[in-house]
Amino acid sequence: MEEEQVPPAVESGESPTAIPNPEVFDSEGYVTDAMPADLDPWIVFDCGKTPRAEFDDWLESNRPSQVSRYGDEDKGPVGWIAVRRGDHSDPNHADMDGLQESWDKLLASGRTVNFQEVKELALKHRVLSGKWMVSLKTGFNLEHAWECVARAVLDGKILQVKGEVMWLDTAIRATGVKCRLAHKPNVYTYLKIYENNCWNLRPTIYDSNFNLCLRRSLVFNKVTNLEVI
């Protein structure tokens, strides 16, 4: 039998700090955390408005490790750091109001909320865009991945191509990013469906892991558990 470790005693007048366990972080917690980031100011390099010659200085001044999410004495909070190229309006002319209305009706109907229902809403209201996401801890790997992707966007090597989810994965890999990627359709973001939601939906539908031996990504559909060929 293993001995149970006893946590340090808390002296009088002190209060222990509760550290949330990411394994049990509920969906509402993700919503609460994500929404302010979307509303807070963004730091953006717009390739169509800012001279390319200024990019290196901009990149050096706005590395993830140097920008505080919640601000500091000199600067306020920052939601996102982004490099934009071209028109970022939704090419599908998504019907966001209709999507929300249909979602509310689905919830009120009592019908089962599943992947197929969300997919049909996305198709009906033309919410067809998505994003490949990477999660890295602060450090060299994050700085390197961010610079690779930022420069690729600047050079036009990564573009929003309708229907080309796998092409974008290949383009990102070509920049040198080899860590795990996850693809999330934007409909899940708009409907505030995050991890550990009450419907047990997976908000990311593709997993991409780079195979060093094959020198390519192995992409799996998380709904069917089958490799995407």
User: What global pTM score does this model have?
Assistant: 0.72
Alpha-carbon span 62 to 171, nearest angstrom: 23
Number of folded domains that form the chain: 1
Give 192-223 pLDDT, tens digit per residue: 999 889 999 999 999 999 999 999 999 999 99
Q: Is 59 domain-assigned?
A: yes
CATH number at residue 178: 3.30.760.10
Give 98-139 pLDDT, tens digit per residue: 999 999 999 999 999 999 999 999 999 999 888 899 888 878
Q: Is 192 domain-assigned?
A: yes
Spatial CA neighbour of 198 closest among 99, 120, 114: 114
Q: Is 14 domain-assigned?
A: no
Q: Is 180 domain-assigned?
A: yes
181 — pLDDT class (breaks 50, 70, 90) = very high
Q: Is 18 domain-assigned?
A: no
Q: Is 11 domain-assigned?
A: no
User: Dihedral of the CA atoms 77, 94, 196, 17 (nearest 10)?
Assistant: 10
Domain hosting 203: range is 25-86+94-227
Name the H helices within 125-220.
140-154, 165-174, 186-190
Give 145-168 pLDDT, tens digit per residue: 999 999 998 888 876 555 588 888
Contacts of 157 (CB under 8 A, 6+ apart): 171, 174, 175
Spatial CA neighbour of 118 closest among 134, 133, 100: 100
Q: Is 2 domain-assigned?
A: no
Q: Is 4 domain-assigned?
A: no
